[in-house]
Amino acid sequence: MTLRANVNLRLGTLQLALGLVAAPGEVLALLGPNGAGKTTLLRALAGLQPIEAGGIELDGVTLDSPLAGAFVPAEDRSVGVLFQDYLLFPHLSVVENVAFGLRSRGADQPLQTARLWLQVMDLDAYAAAKPAQLSGGQAQRVALARALAPAPRLLLLDEPLAALDASTKVAIRRELKKHLSLFEGICLLVTHDPVDAAALADAVLVIEDGRVVQQGKLPQITARPRSRYVADLVGVNLWRGQAVDGQVSVGVASISAADARDGDVFALVHPRAVSLYVERPDGSPRNVWRGRATSLDFAGDRVRVRVDGPVPLVAEITSAGLAELGLVGGEEVWVSFKASEVDVYSA
Amino acid sequence: MGLVVKAPWPEALADLRAPESLDAFRLSLICSLSATAIAIVLGVPLAWVQARMEFRGKNLLRALTTLPMVLPPVVGGVALLLAFGRRGLVGSYLFDAYGIRLPFTTAGVILAETFVSMPFLVITVEAGLRSMNRGLEDAARTLGAHRWTVFRRVTVPLVGPSIFAGAVLCWSRALGEFGATITFAGNFPGQTQTMPLAVYLLLETRPDAAVVLSLVLVVVSLIVLVALRDRFLNVS
């Protein structure tokens, strides 16, 4: 039982071209910014959006193959979808919502099975209620029960926690993790929140502009970001450039790095390794330049200062350090960091 | 108000009980309700096709659907005569093959009223379908519902209020239909003479009775509008 997909399609300005493989019992997170094509990918897997090239195969059965002229429509795929806004049927009661898939797939005693699912989700009391009477978390559990009830082999979750407010998110995330761990099929989770990916998924696929830019376990991905998106998520400075003799050229400037192998590389510097000065600093740091402090972000007793210059970057200093510098934003400052603080890895 | 003042109240009841008035009233109800039923059966799928499918000639179909709305009803009646008359394109075939004659019959009244009033239903339902959340239909499909099941269990219940509103518009238009009916079906008491036709005829001979009949139409329309208002408020 495996999902193999090689999805190529164009939708408006989005060009989707990516491949993925997922095994049963595994939760694979598709992490990426808005507009990266995550939802379109889910729609292609669900059969709501035909692909233009490539193929989708579940358990050795071809679901979509433009070359072979094969296409299994959504209603005939063993796929359950938890939509971003849940899309519960407003005119049906909760139990009828859960029974919907069982009825259309011709299951025996759909209502009884639906009631069992409501018990599993701890929602028996709401069987007769209409979706409009439910809280966000309850609606999400009904939508999950509805997707799981017909026992799909592939479960697709589209931003399952995005519609919830922060105060309930933690409890509902824990709840969702429990239900996902009981699911025996293949599970794909779309999210733009790395916290969801870390909590719910076994492996992560980072998607940007319709392409996979990085994949693996989340700690590996965040330790060695390979895109601006992941770098921003983690909060580090990341540049891509050509390394020659310990110098990484980034745009018009270059950065000195202690152990850079020649070639196309990523250079990573943690904001905490960057120091700011009012006067030009003396001493050993090789990377020194002048820039303008454009914005200040306070987080606890630390401050992230964005500095524009030959190489724009973010420095993280203490609020005491900020007071010493007397920065309020807009001033010229000196930036410096050691060559040994630059982590270089091949692109 | 003018009707109420002018109404000759003492003779009103007698006029209402006159057989021709009762016939006209009965015929109006039967024909307008039949026309509405036919419009629902044909119009809802037509609206669905126009709202959901992409095909060549869709604009032409939409133009044809709404044509009876802008056409003077008399012209519609003439068109119906040309199509369904004894020597008409469809009419001659119907008569030769099945012995069915539509013009100047009660069925002809229903056809004329359907022709004129159905666009109101189609347009209302199509607008309802367009404003409906398509995602719900997608959700139903991922739950294994085939096209007909989606239509029956999700689409129709969700556009129910639009179908209802469209049916009401359609019915009121059919009830007041005059031009196409008199052109295509004539004015035979008991067979094709509906209320508006009776009012028109009585105006020449017995204006008082015409006023009473008009008043009945006003009252029926008012009752329906008030009842619907409550219904709509309950829905929302």
To the nearest whole angstrom, how far is the Cα of B161 from the nearest Cα of chain A? 12
Cα–Cα–Cα angle for B41, B46, B50, rounded to 5 degrees: 160
Inform me whether the pLDDT recorded for A256 exceeds 70.
yes
Q: Is A131 left (phi over 0), alpha (psi -120 to 50) or beta?
A: alpha
Residues of B in contact with A85 (CB under 8 A): 135
Q: A48 and B146: CB-CB below 8 Å?
A: no
Q: State the Cα–Cα distance between residues B33 and B172, nearest whole angstrom.
A: 10
- The DSSP bridge pattern shows strands A186-191 and A154-158 to be parallel
More confident residue, B209 or B163: B163
Task: Evaluate whether ipTM surpasses 0.85.
Answer: no
pLDDT in tens, A274-292: 989 888 887 766 788 888 9
Q: Does A179 touch chain B (CB under 8 A)?
A: no
To the nearest whole angstrom, how far is the Cα of B149 from the nearest Cα of chain A? 8
How far CA B78 is from CA of A292, B20, B85, B123, in Å, comes to: 81, 27, 9, 24
How far CA B139 is from CA of A81, A143, A203, B220, B235, in Å, comes to: 8, 10, 27, 43, 24
Q: Which of A99-108, A111-120, A158-167, A252-261 comes out lowest in average pLDDT? A: A252-261
Q: A89 and B139: CB-CB below 8 Å?
A: yes
Q: Does A83 touch chain B (CB under 8 A)?
A: yes
Inform me whether the pLDDT recorded for A29 exceeds 60.
yes
The shortest CB-CB distance from B138 to any of A48, A91, A100 is to A48
Q: A89 and B140: CB-CB below 8 Å?
A: yes
Q: Tell me the pTM.
A: 0.79
Inform me whether the pLDDT recorded for B235 exceeds 70.
no
Amino acid at B80: L
More confident residue, A310 or B12: A310
pLDDT in tens, B84-111: 887 878 888 888 888 788 888 888 899 9
Positive/negative CA dihedral, A288, A293, A294, A299: positive
Q: State the Cα–Cα distance between residues A91 and A96, nearest whole angstrom.
A: 10
Percent of chain A predicted with pLDDT > 90 = 47
Residues of B in contact with A80 (CB under 8 A): 142-143
The shortest CB-CB distance from A150 to any of B141, B144, B157 is to B144
Q: B141 and A75: CB-CB below 8 Å?
A: yes
Q: B157 and A91: CB-CB below 8 Å?
A: yes
Model pLDDT, residue B1:
67
Residue holding tokens 């309850």? A138
List CB contacts of A181: < 8 A, sequence separation 6 or more.
none
Inform me whether the pLDDT recorded for A21 exceeds 70.
yes
Residues of A in contact with B160 (CB under 8 A): 91
Model pLDDT, residue B8:
63
Q: Does A90 touch chain B (CB under 8 A)?
A: yes
Are the beta carbons of A269 and A236 closer than 8 angstroms?
Answer: yes
H helix and E strand count, chain A: 9, 21
Amino acid at A51: I
The shortest CB-CB distance from B144 to any of A43, A89, A104 is to A104
Burial of residue A124 (number of CB atoms within 10 Å: 0-12, 13-18, 19+): middle
What is the rounded average pLDDT of the residues A5-22?
91
List CB contacts of A300: < 8 A, sequence separation 6 or more.
none
What is the rounded average pLDDT of the residues B212-236?
73
Model pLDDT, residue B236:
40
* Residue A194 structure tokens: 């790395």
Model pLDDT, residue B34:
95
pLDDT in tens, B118-177: 999 999 999 999 999 999 999 999 999 999 999 999 999 999 989 998 998 899 899 889
* Residue A157 structure tokens: 């979750």
Burial of residue B227 (number of CB atoms within 10 Å: 0-12, 13-18, 19+): exposed
**A66: three-class secondary structure by DSSP:** coil
The shortest CB-CB distance from B136 to any of A77, A89, A146 is to A89
DSSP 8-state assignment for residue A281: P
List CB contacts of B23: < 8 A, sequence separation 6 or more.
B189, B190, B193
Q: State the Cα–Cα distance between residues B116 and B104, nearest whole angstrom.
A: 17
